[in-house]
Amino acid sequence: MDGNGRWARRRFMPRFFGHKQGVDALVRAVDAFADRGVQYLTVFAFSSENWKRPSEEVTGLMSLVLVAVSKYLTKMASDGVRIRIIGDRTAVSDKLRKAWEQAETMTQHNTRITLAVAFNYGGRWDVVQACRQALALGLDPQQLDENWLAQHMALSFAPDPDLFIRTGGEMRISNFLLWQTAYSELFFSDCLWPDFGEADIEAALSAYARRDRRFGGLNADAAKPEGH
Ligand code: IPE
Ligand code: MG
């Protein structure tokens, strides 16, 4: 969800205003994706590297999450959204940890869409924390395979993403779901996140529908013998 700061700057407003609008854009997007049959939506809200931002911005983002939970949790819960948080929770405040737990508990039986919020998350952190679990369990090296790791990574409750969308014009993964996006289709949009709406969602999903996914194999045409 990139582009909040630029969105605000264009309006001569502080960056925080852009983040605030970004939360509203997320709430709308969850609904719009769910209406189109998307069952899992994972959003990158705060990366392991975002601590490098000025402390006012970091503090602002933390308090914004608390505000967002108190403002939207009831609505999301009654709209059928199951909320899961992925990331390193040890570094966030007790207050925030409690808010996450409340959001997860309150929505655990919902089935319309699963919203996974990546917070203090990094793709490299995720691989390392899964490996640490293996070591802590004293796993035999032969037992450690792709399947085992996938089952111990933060997004183990969801299938690998079909589509990866980045807004804000940059064409980078920036340490998001590195392991899980091995075969995801990538879609980059110049739209700044607070502006990301129904038309952008349609554009992303229709681009996805035109992709030919082969997962390293051949497509149906190429697989046919010569002359058929
Ligand atoms: C993304 O918007 C939101 C977070 C990382 C929380 P940015 O803050 O990166 O916005 P730009 O890239 O400066 O416009
Ligand atoms: Mg950015």
Express each pLDDT in 145-164 by its tens digit: 999 999 999 999 999 999 99
Asked if 76 and 107 touch (Cβ cutoff 8 Å), the reply is yes
pLDDT in tens, 88-97: 999 999 999 9
Minimal-distance CA residue to ligand 1 atom 9:
2
Cβ(2) – ligand 1 distance below 6 Å:
yes
Residues in the chain: 228
Is residue 219 included in any domain, yes or no?
no
Catalytic residue among 50, 79, 88, 160: 50
List the residue whose alpha carbon is closest to atom 12 of ligand 1.
3
CB of 168 within 6 A of ligand 1: the answer is yes
Full-model pTM: 0.95
Q: Whose CA is nearest to atom 5 of ligand 1?
A: 46
The verdict on residue 226 lying in a domain is no
177-210 per-residue burial string, b: 16 or more CB within 10 A, e: under 16: bebbbeebbebbbebbbbbbeeebbeebbeebee
Count of structural domains, the chain: 1
The answer as to whether 228 is a domain residue is no
Cβ atoms within 10 A of the Cβ of 138, count? 6
How does strand 113-121 pair with strand 185-188?
A: unpaired
Cβ burial of 115 (10 Å; 0-12, 13-18, 19+) is: buried
Please indicate, yes or no, if residue 190 is contained in any of the structural domains.
Answer: yes
Beta bridge partners of 119: 46
Domain membership of residue 222 (yes or no) is no
**What band does 226 get if pLDDT is binned at 50, 70 and 90?**
confident
> Is the CB of 194 within 6 Å of ligand 1?
no
* Structure token digits, residue 94: 């007790």
> Domain range holding 78?
4-212
What is the pLDDT, as a whole number, of residue 216?
92
Check if 1 has its Cβ closer than 6 Å to any atom of ligand 1: yes
* Residue 224, domain member (yes or no): no
The answer to which of 51-60, 67-76, 211-220 has the lowest mean pLDDT is: 211-220
CATH number of the structural domain spanning residue 201: 3.40.1180.10
Q: Is residue 217 part of a domain?
A: no
Cα of 105 vs centre of ligand 1, distance in Å, is 29
Which atom of ligand 1 lies at the shortest distance from residue 3's CA? 14
Indicate whether 218 belongs to any domain.
no
- β-pairing verdict for 81-86 and 163-166: unpaired
Close Cβ partners of 83 (under 8 Å, ≥ 6 residues apart)? 73, 76, 103, 104, 106, 107, 114, 115, 116, 117
Q: Which atom of ligand 1 is nearest to the CA of 192?
A: 14
Active site residue 160: no
